[in-house]
Structure 1
């Protein structure tokens, strides 16, 4: 396992800076200075309400959500923290479609901006299925610091792999 697996798409200079922060045991302090505490959203109902508030602010006319929940089964082996699924079921002669968002339970104890970034990411899939330019423009419209938050969350995941997550209880 390479310690910077969450940063492989970034420039070597950035990876070197992060490696330096890790080796000097300063990465944890950098994150704690930017994001001093974890959010308080612990239940699926609270996550649903949180997600719906963002959806109603930016995507009021998009498809409805039937389910939003924390999911213990989401694995980081594919670098996934959340999943958006479009589930079609046949009931009699009708096809029922539902949109669901599942967020990794590992995000129950992270700073609120990280949770918001991930919820925004999954909500953007209601309009844009692919990770294309329009998708990221929508993410940035809903969360102006989207790219910085994604990077900082990758830093936190790197720390977690090193058993140094500052937000774990």
Structure 2
């Protein structure tokens, strides 16, 4: 075999292993948190560039960038998912994340448009509801709506203890 064939087989095997890993891990991990901790961002970018419709891997990479507050790298991945995924939960989550990034850039109107679109797709999205509640609670005109939204979110049994604590603290600060 030539080195080109071996190289091609290695890349193909890597992609197959990653794809299988994404599929297997997504069944056992929290929503959209595929275990790719041993895979670098550059490796994920390379796989995604060759296979752009591997949405769970793309979401995992976008979430890494989002967690690092590297929104310029996260945005194109979330946009791709929002525009191309048939999975309503992925699409809704991507739109909510885009909305939050837009909010962070001080464009409340566009941010709420993205988040409301997320909620149209998945009205049960705790992420989108939380973001909308946090945005609304900061504006005196929508503060009551924000409190109502966050109070409904905090009652969910799907919310982690840390998230409940975080939202409780927000409510305590703004209900005064």
| Same fold, TM-score > 0.5, yes or no | no
Structure with the bigger RCO (C-alpha within 8 Å, sep 6+) is 1
Q: Which has the larger radius of gyration?
A: 2
The TM-score with structure 2 as length reference comes to: 0.28
